[in-house]
Amino acid sequence: MLVVAALGLVVAAAVFLVTGLTSGEVGDLYLSMVLCGASLVVLAVSARAARPRLRPHGDQARPLDPEADHDAPATVLPAETDVATEPDPAPAPAAAPVDGGADEADGADEAAPVVAGDGPSEAVGAAAAAPVPPEGVEVPPAAHEEPPAPAVDLTDDGALFPIADYDALEPVQILPLVPRLYPDEVPTVAARERATKARPAVLDALAAAADDPALAFPVPGYEDLTAEEVTSALDGLDDEALDLVRRAERAGAARAGVLVAVTGRLEGDRPRAGAPA
């Protein structure tokens, strides 16, 4: 629809241009230029609206839903069905009489008659058989719960975040997407990164894309430094930079010495409880 509107503006601009050239009216020429500019704006808006959200190659970025494949109820056939379809086993041979008198043997036979096919397998099958509802009673189907809808990743102003599934991506998946961001999307992604994991490689790439050194990580070459080198580089950093270092360290190597040093500097700048202001 926006493309059609842009074409209409171009046609109107051409009409006013021809009219202005033939009649010599300067106003028609100015109106033609205004319509041309408006058509360019409409085309830019339509291209921006039709642009899909950036996704890394493959589906490895999207975390698997552990409940997606386990919600469907499993159909279990009762054990009676298998027993009914199997042929009856051969009758068991008659047991030899046991010494102890004919009366005791006859009493044992009357008390526990031998039934063909009676054995441990049938006893287990009868115990595991599902209860059969009485005739005429409708059994409601098993409840099927739909998996929850995936949460929509939005920015603070309600727009879609430029990179889909951003929080689940690794730096090697984010870095190829940074050059494809629009200039006004780079600060949005940088703000999300600084507020969450503050990964140095991602922040440095965003700073290079925006040509803004303020977006870069406060310690250059951070991922190649040892714990002692990072601790010595903390001197002179403000609280915001120290907080970024702490976020990056927690999301990365989580070195205890670095975390203790950063926390000590952050808490050392605050007045102690009960101390005069």
Average pLDDT in the 133-153 region?
Answer: 62
- Residue ranges of alpha helices (H) inside the chain are 2-23, 26-50, 79-85, 102-111, 120-128, 171-174, 186-195, 200-210, 227-233, 239-251, 256-268
CA distance 61 to 58: 7
Measured at the CA of 176, the angle between CA 175 and CA 179, to 5 degrees, comes to 95
Task: For residue 199, name the pLDDT band (cuts at 50, 70, 90).
Answer: very high
pLDDT surpassing 80 at residue 174 = yes
For the chain, the domains span: 2-50, 160-217, 222-269
Q: What percent of the chain has pLDDT over 90?
A: 33
CA distances from 205 to 61, 172, 173, 215, 218 (A): 19, 11, 12, 9, 13
Which of helix, strand or coil describes residue 3?
Answer: helix
User: Could you give phi then psi for residue 119, rounded to 5 degrees?
Assistant: -160, 180
pLDDT at 82 over 60: no
Alpha-carbon gap, residue 203 to 193, rounded angstroms: 7
pTM value is 0.48
- Quick count: other Cβ atoms within 10 Å of Cβ 4? 10
Q: Write down the residue that tokens 């290079």 correspond to.
A: 208
Q: Is the pLDDT of residue 249 over 60?
A: yes
The per-residue pLDDT for range 84-142, each reduced to its tens digit, is 455 555 555 555 554 544 444 454 444 444 444 445 445 445 445 556 666 766 666 66
Of 42-46, 55-59, 148-152, 219-223, give the lowest mean pLDDT range.
148-152
Q: Is 59 exposed, middle or buried (0-12, 13-18, 19+ CB in 10 A)?
A: exposed
- Cα separation, 34 vs 16, in Å, equals 10
Predicted local distance difference test score (pLDDT) of residue 271: 41
Q: Name the more confident of 214 and 133.
A: 214
Percent of the chain at pLDDT above 70?
A: 58
What pLDDT score does 116 carry?
A: 47
**pLDDT, the chain, mean:** 74
How many Å apart are CA 162 and CA 147, to the nearest integer? Answer: 25
**Separation between Cα atoms, residue 259 and residue 247, nearest integer Å:** 9
What is the pLDDT averaged over residues 13-42?
Answer: 83
What's the Cα-to-Cα distance from 245 to each of 77, 132, 135, 233, 238, rounded to whole Å? 59, 65, 71, 11, 11
